[in-house]
Amino acid sequence: MEVALTPLEFARRARRIYPDREAVVDGELRLTYAQFLGRCDRWSGALSRLGVGVGDRVVVIAPNTHGMLEQFYAVPQIGAIVVPLNYRLTGADFKYMIEHCAPAVVCVHADYIQTVEGLRGELTGVRHFVALTGSGPGWLDYESTLAAGAADFSRPVIDEDDVLSINYTSGTTSRPKGVMITHRNAWMNTVGTLVHNPMGAGERYLWTLPMFHANGWTYVWTVTAAGGTHVCLAKVDAAAVYSLVNRERVTMLSAAPTVLIAIANGPQAGRRDLRRGVRVATGGAPPAAATIQRIEGELGWVITQFYGLTETAPMILVCESRPRDAALSGDELATHKARQGVELITSGQIRVLDEGDREVPADGSTLGEIVVRGNVVMKGYYNDPQATATALRGGWFHTGDAAVVHPDGYVEIRDRFKDVIISGGENISSIELEGVLLAHPSVLEAAVVGMAHAKWGETPVAHVVLRAESAATEEQLRQHCRERLAGFKVPTQVRFVTELPKTATGKIQKYVLRKQLSAIHRQ
């Protein structure tokens, strides 16, 4: 009687129970669940006729569109593996990842066809190139191929340990690694998300988070499992977000903290009558308490923070609310919500270990590394047994994130271990310092990294983006920090910049800032 745990079951159920409910909105296109999943079936049939079978890889390079969403159903239901790539990468990045995973088919949105076209002569292992939108010589047209095909294909037996997707890491310090997420991983994460951030039938989810990022934090399947509506947004722009939230009666969205900052600083006119009560899942980087206060206080939205990694499918911690939170002041509540939280019921066991593999005391100050084991941890890195063995040593996945455990059991990340600044033997959390800077009324964004120092080894240097029409001097910001932090944590320099380097999902690329400082230090 056992049935494999796979998110494909969510599609089966939605088709049966909600055939006439609106499933997808993409510009002027509106699809019911019967229409949406019917299109997925026809594309599955087309892929089968193109020779794609069990275990084959299908790469997709596209923003948040209905064509992108359809790959997360059409590809795995024929036993193949979907490989969503970060569309903001370079042609060289695309070439490396496509050659690494050796796909049978590459599906590309019009915006990226020219880049991929320039690589086609070198990608000799790819059998077919598909234009999801747009066109090119020798490219198959997605819509006409889908429309001409029948929804007849063989449904293989899916084992829940089969690989569902390969998701490449950002590769900021080395070559990107292909994270193998199984059907079981994705099912578990979807159910855990629904338990801790419930969705109901009829909810409307705005796609502000890229679908390629850890499979949209599994919301590519979570929304369908709930019988909700996927409201697609190809490019995040604050004005567009405001418009869609109001016009499409959006109830939920997900976004990294830097994206939330951009949304909170959109046109004043659009914010004035903005729909309130929208529930926001944030993660990808620890949000500052000041960011949470702005979103909840100014927009009237409600934030829940999740923590995880691509390797954990991705959610493993949630800052869930508790009855005691009702007694907290606004500042206290925002500070509490900035913590990463406690285990999801489906994420498995989370521990924070010191260098001797002992659990750190729950004192809110002793640093350790977050490790996890459970049903959401990846199968491994594709074609990389050495990296797999290193990451999964001792039967635990080692995250590389430095954290403390508070007396109430809530985990709080203080940094990536490589981002901890050691100055005169003292550990400085760049995240803590950034949070203090973001509390200054003139600061829009902040990033802190360590710079080599002859006496102290390292000292913190802050990179700050000021709000429009705001002003602050270096000494004013240093004094602001001095009043709130120990003296050794105060930045020795504040560098004012117009923007911070970021990944496609809004994570600040601190390695770029470190390289810039290193070049200055050598001069």
Please report, to the nearest 10 degrees, the dihedral formed by the alpha carbons of residues 179, 182, 184, 190 taken in order.
Answer: 60
Give the pLDDT score at 287.
Answer: 83
Give the pLDDT score at 193.
Answer: 96
Task: With CA atoms as reference, report the closest residue to 178 among 170, 187, 186, 169.
Answer: 169
Which residues 6+ apart lie within 8 Å of 389 measured at CB? none
Give the pLDDT score at 417.
Answer: 74
How, if at all, do strands 163-168 and 140-141 pair? unpaired
Question: Residue 73: enclosing H or E segment and its boundaries?
Answer: helix 66-74
Confidence of residue 322 (pLDDT cuts 50, 70, 90): confident
Residues 305/337, Cβ–Cβ less than 8 Å: yes
Q: For residue 204, list its beta bridge partners.
A: 229
Give the pLDDT score at 405.
Answer: 97
Q: For residue 30, list its beta bridge partners.
A: 25
CA distance 315 to 438: 26
Q: Which residue has the higher pLDDT, 445 or 505?
A: 445
Residue 24 CA: distances (Å) to CA of 36, 223, 470? 7, 10, 41
Give the pLDDT score at 174.
Answer: 63
Q: Which residue has the higher pLDDT, 383 or 271?
A: 383
pLDDT at residue 520 greater than cutoff 80 = no
Give the pLDDT score at 448.
Answer: 93
Q: Which domains, ranges and CATH numbers included, belong to the chain?
A: 8-235 (3.40.50.12780), 420-522 (3.30.300.30)
Give the pLDDT score at 206.
Answer: 98
pLDDT at residue 502 greater than cutoff 90 = no
Which residues 6+ apart lie within 8 Å of 447 measured at CB? 430, 434, 462, 463, 500, 508, 510, 513
pLDDT per position as a tens digit, 336-371 = 888 999 999 999 999 999 999 999 999 999 999 999
Give the pLDDT score at 323.
Answer: 86
Give the pLDDT score at 288.
Answer: 83
pLDDT per position as a tens digit, 38-54 = 999 999 999 999 999 99
Give the pLDDT score at 310.
Answer: 94
Residues 127/117, Cβ–Cβ less than 8 Å: no
Give the pLDDT score at 397.
Answer: 97
CA distance 417 to 304: 25
Give the pLDDT score at 77.
Answer: 97
pLDDT per position as a tens digit, 221-266 = 999 999 999 999 999 999 999 999 999 999 999 998 888 988 988 9
pTM of the model: 0.87
pLDDT at residue 495 greater than cutoff 90 = yes
Confidence of residue 425 (pLDDT cuts 50, 70, 90): low
Mean pLDDT to the nearest integer, 115-132: 96
Query: Which of the residue ranges 118-122, 184-188, 424-428 would you say has the lowest mean pLDDT?
Result: 424-428
Q: Which residue has the higher pLDDT, 430 or 474?
A: 474
Mean pLDDT to the nearest integer, 85-103: 93
Give the pLDDT score at 523.
Answer: 58
